[in-house]
Amino acid sequence: MIVSASRRTDIPAFFADWFMERVRAGYCSYPNPFNPAQRVVVSLRPEDVDVIVFWSKDPLNLLPRLPGLSARGYRFYFQFTVNGYPPFLEPGLRPLEQILDTFARLADLIWPAPVVWRYDPIILSDATGPDYHRRRFESIAGRLAHYTRRVMISLFDDYRRAGARLRRAARQACVRLLPVAPGAPEVDALLRDLGQAARAHGLEVFSCAEAADLTPLGIPPGRCIDDQLIWKTLGVRVSARKDRGQRAACRCVESRDIGVYGTCRHGCVYCYAGPC
């Protein structure tokens, strides 16, 4: 079993103590997102967990606990989002330089387990236009190239609550949002340039859960929870079956996600897992 910790909230940032308590207990539980009256129980015993995939924007609080997790026999890797957006989009994050330092510390700490850089979602506005993203991506890629071999890219999906939250934040910041969809010339040009910049820094680049095929732009579809990556870097064979609980365009393999929606405190206005 693969444990996903978590698409629904930032466990490394805000619930590191809780997670380690549950590891010691050998299980965790959470309310069923579709039926909150029902609790789902997931084993966290080492013999039941093949791999843990951590998702985070700032896993600093979990770093001191990782050697102990390894000593207990757990294998894990990270999906680490680094966008460097202005505060009106990511109001709760520490400064970018501090986040980049944490990325480097984490990569050094858990090598050879991977830390995958996520540059997502891409939001276009008159404050974060295509040239903004070209400069920001190039700058971050230059800093992280020594610490990661892979970057995942996605475009903003206009989920009802996330879209409303984003538009409200943009109005308050007097920022005009711009369309972001593959097929538009300026979007395709941007994606092509980001792919080229990634490869120039020696990084594999993949799209995350994009319905459109970005392969002609140099960005093939990827898996965040990836059976081949797990085998190559951690030496663990896991099922290659697609996770049916994820979006149709998601190519991740099966996992058990243990997070709770609406509990992340970063406050990123574009997040599908955030509060209303």
Nearest of 221, 223, 210 to residue 254 by alpha carbon: 223
Kindly report the length of the chain: 276
Q: Which residues fall within 8 angstroms of residue 70, CB to CB, at 6 or more apart?
A: 110
Q: Where are the domains of the chain?
A: 2-257
The answer on pLDDT for 36 being more than 90 is no
For the chain, give the percent of residues with pLDDT over 90: 95
Mean pLDDT of 15-20: 98
Tell which wins on pLDDT, 200 or 37. 200
Residue 26 pLDDT > 90, yes or no? yes
Mean pLDDT of the chain: 96
pLDDT at 37: 87
Averaged over 134-161, what is the pLDDT?
96
| pLDDT at residue 276, as a whole number | 53
Q: Which of 38, 34, 3, 1 is nearest to 257 (CA)?
A: 3
Neighbouring CB atoms inside 10 A of 129's CB total: 13
The proportion of the chain whose per-residue pLDDT surpasses 70, expressed as a percent, equals: 99
44 near 17, Cβ under 8 Å? no
Q: Which CATH class is domain 2-257?
A: alpha beta
273 band by pLDDT with thresholds 50, 70 and 90: confident
**Rounded distance, CA 270 to CA 208, Å?**
16
For 53-72, how does the pLDDT look when each residue is reduced to its tens digit (9 = 90+)?
999 999 999 999 999 999 99
Helix (H) or strand (E) holding 136: helix 130-144
Average pLDDT over residues 64-88: 98
- Asked whether the predicted pLDDT for residue 34 surpasses 90, the reply is no
pLDDT of residue 274: 77
pTM over 0.85: yes
CB-based burial label for 153 (10 Å; 0-12, 13-18, 19+):
buried
Span 65-83, mean pLDDT?
98
Q: What integer pLDDT is reported at residue 99 of this predicted model?
A: 98
Tell me: pLDDT of 235 over 90.
yes
Q: Write out pLDDT tens, residues 169-209.
A: 999 999 999 999 999 999 999 999 999 999 999 999 999 99
